[in-house]
């Protein structure tokens, strides 16, 4: 995989002090943990960094940023004549023809599921699953829309799932296989992996694992109107339609989150500046056509609006119209800082005497992670989690960053230790996701508690759900 071209901020008209201020603001937010960022200007990477223990080559769970990759797959299928936006959705699933009798469901078009305009006024995932656990498209179509399709916006996972299912049906391939020669290989995107459901169909609305670099490349392709290194990959018409308002919001969908009230395209959000794909807990691909810039971010936060507020406050003013003279010293200081980014580890001491043994869940069950049934501490201080009958061994000898990284059977970094003679407190960062599991063992009664700092949206055992599925 070739690297994206790099340059200094000053050479591309970006004030390094503005990037420094953005980093300061990210790190100062108490409920925002940055994991990585890449900033491109005029097609050049002018800043990139990963907060240790996160690293450039690790894929990240993108959550709903996956939707923008699904839209791209749909764009290729439209260009190849495999999908027509004004076809009824039901026409791609003739086996459901007799079941789907609601006229609004039958009137739903491909463009409506692509733009979250199915006619439903709220999320339908739970209702669709209740209708048909094994075939979500059928379950979705059995949930009658509240209004005519195309007249109302509602962020709706089964809509994207249905778009993804159509692509996979007409191509006879999984999304990753279909995108490999059309998107991933031309853009130089390496390994990716996508969570599939029990039918083997990749989810589309979530579940894609890819690197920060892959996010940046997708944004750059859209910024360039579908052209990559002089070759047109996506039709300009698709890029234009995907990144303009297809459906407006009748009312603010998420309280005072201003950047979620600007309209929706084809699996892209419009923003106060430019447009973006984004995913739960702070995964972003922000495209800024006026600034000729792309920003890719991975993070862990519940306040995604805050991330964008900080971008508008600190990064937008940093963009100039031409090279900035005399920026060498500021650029060098920024490069040094980016090279040394790291998350503060949890502190802890070595094991006290008599601290070995097996700890069981306080109260009998770990509510946040029910499959976690025991934690073992051996005489050498090694900690082993027993989850769904499988074992995850963790070392506690802190590395240079204060984190000890374990790659198998699931990529995780651990920090912490004994906070006093009776308490073992560990911070487990699952490195291919945004999530941390905070574990506390009490020596007095040999019990433990474990809670997610942010709750994973794909449930299940740690060793199977807290990493990318087998890569392709």
| End-to-end CA, the chain | 15
Co-location of 366 and 304 in the same domain: no
Which pLDDT score, from 0 to 100, does residue 262 have? Answer: 94
Evaluate whether residue 219 is within a structural domain: yes
Evaluate whether residue 391 is within a structural domain: yes
Rounded (5°) CA angle 224-227-230: 115
Q: Torsions phi, psi of 59, nearest 5? A: -70, 150
Structure tokens at 240: 């234009």
Closest CA to 234 of 183, 180, 278: 183
Measured distance CA(361)–CA(386) in Å, rounded:
11
Per-residue pLDDT in tens (0 to 9) along the chain, 472 residues:
578 999 999 999 999 999 999 999 999 999 999 999 999 999 999 999 999 999 999 999 999 999 999 999 999 999 999 999 999 999 999 999 999 999 999 999 999 999 999 999 999 999 999 999 999 999 999 999 999 999 999 999 999 999 999 999 999 999 999 999 999 999 999 999 999 999 999 999 999 999 999 999 999 999 999 999 999 999 999 999 999 999 887 655 555 789 999 999 999 999 999 999 999 999 999 999 999 999 999 999 999 999 999 999 999 999 998 888 888 999 999 999 999 999 999 988 877 777 788 999 999 999 999 999 999 998 777 899 999 999 999 977 655 668 999 999 999 999 998 899 899 999 999 999 999 999 999 999 999 999 999 999 998 999 989 999 974 3
Co-location of 309 and 417 in the same domain: no
Instruction: Domain of residue 306: give its range.
Output: 10-80+166-339
Co-location of 213 and 259 in the same domain: yes
Co-location of 242 and 328 in the same domain: yes
Cα 396 to chain centroid, rounded: 28
Which residue, of 274, 306, 339, is where some domain finishes? 339
CATH assignment of the domain containing 32: 3.40.710.10
Evaluate whether residue 257 is within a structural domain: yes
Co-location of 187 and 277 in the same domain: yes
Residue 265 contacts residue 256 (beta carbons within 8 Å): no
CB environment 6-34: b (16+ within 10 A), e (fewer): ebbbbbbbbbbbbbbbbbebbeebeebbb
Across the beta sheet with 436-442, the strand order is: 390-394, 383-387, 372-377, 357-361, 447-452, 436-442, 423-430, 412-420, 404-406
Co-location of 317 and 368 in the same domain: no
Evaluate whether residue 243 is within a structural domain: yes
Measured distance CA(371)–CA(368) in Å, rounded:
9
3-state SS, residue 329: helix
Structure tokens at 76: 């290729």
Closest CA to 373 of 453, 454, 447: 447
Measured distance CA(75)–CA(78) in Å, rounded:
5
Which pLDDT score, from 0 to 100, does residue 251 have? Answer: 54
Which residue, of 339, 374, 409, is where some domain finishes? 339
Structure tokens at 13: 């008209």
Which residue, of 313, 339, 365, is where some domain finishes? 339
Co-location of 296 and 407 in the same domain: no
Co-location of 335 and 370 in the same domain: no
**Residue 99 per-residue DSSP state:** T
**Residue 183 per-residue DSSP state:** I
Co-location of 333 and 369 in the same domain: no
Structure tokens at 232: 């047109």
């Amino acid at each position: 995989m070739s690297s994206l071209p790099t340059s200094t901020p000053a050479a591309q008209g970006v004030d390094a002090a503005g990037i420094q201020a953005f980093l300061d603001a990210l790190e100062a937010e108490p409920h925002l943990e940055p994991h990585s960022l890449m900033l491109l200007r005029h097609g050049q990477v002018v800043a990139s960094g990963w907060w240790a223990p996160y690293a450039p080559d690790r894929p990240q769970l993108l959550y709903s940023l996956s939707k923008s990759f699904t839209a791209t797959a749909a764009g290729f299928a439209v260009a190849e004549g495999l999908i027509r936006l004004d076809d009824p959705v039901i026409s791609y699933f003739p086996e459901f023809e007799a079941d789907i009798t609601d006229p609004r469901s039958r009137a739903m078009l491909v463009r409506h599921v692509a733009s979250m305009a199915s006619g439903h006024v709220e999320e339908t995932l739970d209702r669709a699953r209740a209708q048909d656990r094994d075939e979500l498209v059928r379950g979705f179509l059995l949930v009658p829309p509240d209004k005519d399709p195309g007249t109302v916006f509602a962020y709706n996972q089964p809509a994207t799932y249905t778009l993804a299912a159509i692509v996979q049906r007409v191509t006879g391939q999984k999304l990753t296989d279909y995108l490999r020669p059309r998107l991933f290989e031309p853009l130089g995107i390496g390994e990716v992996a996508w969570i599939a459901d029990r039918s083997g169909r990749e989810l589309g609305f979530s579940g894609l694992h890819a690197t920060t670099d892959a996010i940046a490349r997708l944004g750059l392709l859209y910024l360039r109107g579908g052209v990559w290194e002089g070759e047109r990959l996506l039709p300009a018409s698709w890029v234009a339609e995907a990144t303009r308002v297809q459906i407006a919001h009748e009312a603010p969908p998420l309280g005072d989150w201003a950047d979620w009230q600007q309209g929706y395209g084809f699996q892209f959000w419009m923003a106060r500046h430019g447009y973006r794909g984004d995913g739960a807990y702070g995964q972003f691909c922000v495209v800024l056509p006026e600034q000729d810039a792309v920003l890719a971010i991975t993070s862990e936060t519940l306040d995604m609006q805050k991330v964008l507020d900080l971008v508008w406050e600190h990064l937008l003013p940093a963009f100039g119209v031409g090279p900035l003279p005399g920026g060498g010293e500021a650029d060098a200081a920024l490069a040094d800082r980016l090279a040394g980014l790291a998350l503060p580890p949890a502190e802890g001491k070595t094991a006290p005497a008599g601290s070995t043994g097996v700890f069981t869940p306080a109260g009998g069950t770990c509510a946040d992670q029910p499959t976690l049934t025991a934690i073992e501490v051996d005489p050498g201080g090694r900690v082993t989690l027993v989850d769904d009958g499988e074992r995850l061994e963790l070392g506690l000898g802190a590395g240079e960053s204060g984190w000890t990284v374990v790659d198998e059977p699931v990529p995780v970094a651990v920090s912490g230790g004994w906070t006093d003679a009776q308490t073992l407190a560990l911070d487990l960062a699952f490195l291919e996701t945004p999530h941390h599991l905070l574990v506390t063992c009490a020596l007095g009664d040999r019990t433990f508690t474990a809670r997610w700092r942010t709750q994973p949206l794909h449930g299940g055992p740690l060793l199977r759900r807290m990493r990318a599925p087998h890569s392709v």
